[in-house]
Chains A and B, each alone.
Chain A
């Protein structure tokens, strides 16, 4: 039993289509993540990694099972409740940075908080500055996404994921588009932020090197979970 769990998933299933066309992508996933834990999720393409991340991020609803986070039953919650939960308790880092091209780096970092509040505040701006400092981009605050390098853009995306002080950051192949050097920098950054903020991370990756640096690794294969503990 994981101590102090923030996320509990039991017998989670996800099916697409119906009748003869029905495809079962997740087939009874059990998973818990503790506060401050950094977990790697490994599996081949088509194993169900992205679907699981989408469900855990409330971007997609499971077909069945238990999905509870911080005491909230996200399986039963309404769309509006899930949107609110997502905006305050979850952070996302994607393989492609997906920064808004019309906003500066600082404004991109503030975006999730401002979207939830309906306006930008001084406190948000200060926190976004701190986060950009933390990811080593203090001098890139006013840059538009087109200007910085791929690694820098991904670091902005990491800072953006943390603006709302989420309990869990879901990272889907966060280094998948980066060269080894940039990949290492981003991973170092995630590890240090995890240590400093006690934010939990679930990182989907193909990279064994990345998985080896996490507290724990989960292997998913054909929609089923095979759990194992990583050495650090």
Chain B
């Protein structure tokens, strides 16, 4: 049955090239919109996510916070243990945890850090900074500091410091100058500016300074522990689940980036839903277009359908012919639309290279195969009603005997 139905369907489509071409072009247009929207929304989400989380840790592990605790100490006596504000929250035994974290699936980078507040003094000028003590070989693990260096180098010897460009401007700092830095623990050291970086994030460029792990230990009076462990994961959107897993495996507080950026997530979600609506409309347009064109075609071919039925063609054969016709229109339109969209998206640069004001198109997220599959399926469904109607045609009425 399908072989003969396929032949009749193809023969009819080829015999009416004008109508077939118009239908395929209509479907192709819908598919192009579908692919373009997928690529644009995917690219926009990727760009926003990259811009937002590209230079920040996806998960931060910190010592579980111990606030004031109370307990009963005998008859009618309550003991309240205050939080020890004199001690810095730290992860005292961190080295064994690094291996555990690195083995966790989807974790791409780990950076133990000693961080705290400090002041940079230069002459009469004093600026507050957030000092991050990192292992030199893990300097770029979280933010690509080495790649963001605009002056000097990315080396970080024990007496070196890297500062943000805005901070450097404020204090008129240049590479090679020695500055004095005093921590909130009352310790101070003299460090040489090794490099100046621009991450493009205002707070980082104005208030962050990177120092060697060793220097940070001295500055913050932390002999063995670290204050936090920063982690990168891939994909960043799975940070929530991985954070929960790390909390279970390390016992530390695990804070995913999404907790601090819920508005961004809501925005991306709303954007994805808008895209879904537009894509759904594109599919509906395809369905309506094919269904109405096929109903018209059936009205025109009523006599031919009637004669086939009179000659013994079963209803199933008639239904199959129209289903195949619809599906072929969908497949042809899907392939053409996807190809056109692919060609149209070629000139767009990768999202990473996109300029300000340009469209962030990610061709890889174009959903080409999904578009072809959905269109073919939609076209088949669109032809179902006309096909059933064709099968119901009464040969006597159609032939007019």
A interface residues, Cβ below 8 angstroms from B: 50, 53-54, 57, 59-60, 80, 83-84, 86-88, 90, 92, 94-96, 98, 100-103, 111-112, 114-120, 160, 164, 172
Contacts and interface: CB of A to CB of B under 8 A. Distances in A.
B270 interface: no
B310 A100 contact: no
A92 B310 contact: yes
A83 B308 contact: no
B313 A87 contact: yes
Contacts of B12: 102
A101 B308 contact: no
Interface in B291-338: 303-304, 306-315, 317
A87 B311 contact: yes
B396 to A, nearest CB: 5
Nearest to B14: A102
A66 to B, nearest CB: 21
Given A87-B312, A102-B12, A118 B307 contact: no
A194 B30 CA distance: 57
B3 A118 contact: yes
B304 A118 contact: no
A120 B6 CA distance: 12
Given A53-B401, A98-B304, A84 B396 contact: no
Q: 5 closest A-B pairs (Cβ-Cβ)?
A: A87-B312, A118-B1, A115-B313, A112-B311, A98-B307
B314 A100 contact: no
27 contacts: A53-B401, A59-B395, A80-B314, A83-B312, A83-B314, A84-B312, A86-B312, A87-B314, A88-B312, A98-B303, A98-B399, A102-B8, A102-B11, A103-B8, A103-B11, A111-B308, A112-B313, A114-B4, A115-B313, A116-B312, A116-B313, A118-B2, A118-B3, A119-B3, A120-B4, A120-B7, A172-B401
B15 interface: yes
Contacts of B304: 98, 100-101
A192 to B, nearest CB: 23
Contacts of A103: 8, 11
A94 B401 contact: yes
Contacts, number: 79
A99 to B, nearest CB: 8
Contacts of B311: 86-87, 92, 111-112, 115, 160
Contacts of A95: 401
B308 A115 contact: yes
Given A53-B401, A102-B8, 5 more contacts: A59-B310, A83-B309, A95-B401, A101-B15, A102-B12
Contacts of A100: 304, 307-308
A118 B4 contact: yes
Contacts of A114: 4
A98 B315 CA distance: 19
Contacts of A101: 15, 304
Contacts of A164: 312
A117 B310 CA distance: 15
B401 to A, nearest CB: 5
Nearest to A166: B312
A115 B312 CA distance: 7
Contacts of B3: 118-119
A102 B17 CA distance: 12
A60 B396 contact: yes
Contacts of A94: 307, 399, 401
